[in-house]
Structure 1
């Protein structure tokens, strides 16, 4: 099909001020249009609508018409360059190229690189290194997929289709071998980058707007009360295992996440109604939370008081190494579960709800922005179900008599 390409200059009469109007440009390609300002203004009667230029032969008219010719030449040059490179061209792409906008977004991997560079600048402010590493891994998977499926080193952003996302999901599951929840994580990053490009006029449409990637039915593991007690009563020969066990148990007894435990200071210890509490805010969401410390949690704080650096409550290992040691701890204690620190938070939620704490209170303690997030943690255990059904039986058992 023959491409239609046209450049038109006109004056915007709706912006007339004291008889002066701005000169605008419009690029039309295959039915798509994009307008831009030429950065010149003239008296409305000076514009020649048929000739698309300024009337007269004076210096001002010659200078402006020369500038318009130069703009037209630049746009034609950008159009030809993009046409040679991309499968199809839109007016927005040519207009953006002329204005110098978004040239780094011309391909998928360049867009990813720009996204990751911007993310890296925010580390320590409102972003963390761990998430940045996940984005770099996601970028690697996309690059490998393009080589695997398309036999190319990169792909134009405007070449993306729904099929790209569908095939990428299959590639992640079958070739990379990741779980469905991880597939969704990688695809969410890619969708966000493409959506950003569309919102900034760099591609004519969002090819993934209707793509829905399921997170699967991932079970969130937790420790039972007996398993937590088994951890608490075990004696380790390695002091490092003892320390990691204590911090993990502290998480089970408070519901506080790893990074928030790491950030705790003596300033977060407050007394309310003659009881010791922790009052802080989640690093992830900035949502404040308060939790009352039971005796075992207070003992853990006291145990590590002599080893504090400054006013930090605990000296903790990095999260990755902590999880490595937790695997050893689980094995030594006979717990047949893949122990991670985040399971302490799951375990707290389950124990709290199983023992009658309202889910609204659990959500407040965990510092969740939505109660639906808490519901993902909350497990209805057999013990809780048995208690609830026993209460129901005691109330209606005598009334419901079969004759």
Structure 2
């Protein structure tokens, strides 16, 4: 265990900085003849400073309050020395000062871990994920201001109750982008990011114990929108007079037959289209979201859309398809659905769900294959996308019934 031979705390006034007969008060910490000074942000009239007691000798209420403050500083500095001793840290005047001022690793704050995450994760996380962390930071700052009347909080002060309060606050406060409150799953995402930040703080040894360990995230499961085979066909054959509606439809259909997300379609370039071992064209790319490699055989309907835009009149800066901004394409998809009377919220997410359900799984493609095509790192992720349509269930049950009937006939024949 690391110990020190000498340790002392000494209060003094800096006579070199006297102004209007008042001098600032300092605390001097000495460990093994090494010393450091801390400005206490207090001053006193020189005539009232007792050089032996190191306190004010005045009897005024202000002097009594000053002496009480100096007693507290003395006690706090002793505590800092004791903490470092218990933690088996090297005890120096600098270490005691840092602990006293809250500048050492034991006194890191919530904004410290947020800033650390910001500076260290850009090479690891995607831009969209980092943007979501920025939004969570805004909610945390708003919460600290409204609930605690502060701009920051020490990590050591974050408790299980802090997470409960933050959860309840998000349920009652308005969204940053909209006037209505956040929905449950959006709230869970913010809490999930906070839990990850606290876990990072524990790993960095900025926090001894994770207060969020026992806090459970409760996501609500909901039905994901997807197009039935008849709706998909209706969208494919629809004749739109508006050019933006035609292009938007084509992009959506392309995603329905490839399973690619919006960002993956937008990033698609000529180099991503290659000949496979079967002699047919494949898409070889990496998912923007998780960098998982995906290899997708190009179905005929997806190939037709690609060929439609590979003429000289189209120029998309080396991109294969005319992808609008995410905001615009969602607006156009809403217009397309309205024109066709499709009472569903269309998005690239629903296109991926359509690929997983209507195009692949309902046509007998194994879920393991679908998982590879979607670029999922875990099969459980694919299972949240997957739906088995009623007609597929009916067909499977018909096969089962036929099998049972055959077994029954065989048994009767043996009995005869």
The two structures have a TM-score, normalised by structure 1, of 0.74
- Which residue number in structure 2 is paired with residue 281 of structure 1? 286
- Which residue number in structure 2 is paired with residue 34 of structure 1? 87
Q: Deviations over 1:189-216 (max 9, x none)?
A: 1111112122222222211122221122
Task: Assess if the C-alpha contact under 8 Å between 1:7 and 1:28 holds in 2.
Answer: no
Q: Where in structure 1 are there 5+ consecutive unaligned residues? A: 1-5, 11-26, 39-70, 83-95
Aligned-pair distance for 1:289? 1.9
- Which residue number in structure 1 is paired with residue 39 of structure 2? none
Note if 1:153 corresponds to 2:169: no
Q: Deviations over 1:68-95 (max 9, x none)?
A: xxx2x3333334334xxxxxxxxxxxxx
Residues 362-401 of structure 1 mapped to structure 2, 5 A cutoff: 362-397=370-405
Which protein has the larger Cα radius of gyration, Structure 1 or Structure 2? 2
Note if 1:197 corresponds to 2:192: no
Q: Deviations over 1:268-300 (max 9, x none)?
A: 222232422222222333322222222221110
| Greater shift in the superposed pair: 181-190 or 29-38 | 29-38
Q: Matches of 1:247 and 1:319 in 2, distance apart?
A: 12
Q: Matches of 2:371 and 2:295 in 1, distance apart?
A: 11
| Greater shift in the superposed pair: 269-278 or 189-198 | 269-278
Q: Matches of 1:167 and 1:36 in 2, distance apart?
A: 35
Q: Where in structure 2 are there 5+ consecutive unaligned residues? A: 6-79, 175-180, 410-416
| Greater shift in the superposed pair: 107-116 or 138-147 | 107-116
Secondary structure of 1:204's aligned partner = coil
Task: Assess if the C-alpha contact under 8 Å between 2:81 and 2:96 holds in 1.
Answer: no
Note if 1:115 corresponds to 2:113: no
Task: Assess if the C-alpha contact under 8 Å between 1:28 and 1:34 holds in 2.
Answer: no
- Which residue number in structure 2 is paired with residue 305 of structure 1? 310
Q: Matches of 1:143 and 1:32 in 2, distance apart?
A: 35
Q: How many residues align?
A: 326
Note if 1:353 corresponds to 2:361: yes
Query: Which of 313, 317, 324 is 2:324 aligned to?
Result: 317
Secondary structure of 2:296's aligned partner = strand
Note if 1:77 corresponds to 2:97: yes
Aligned-pair distance for 1:175? 2.8
The two structures have a TM-score, normalised by structure 2, of 0.71
Note if 1:238 corresponds to 2:242: yes
Secondary structure of 1:210's aligned partner = coil
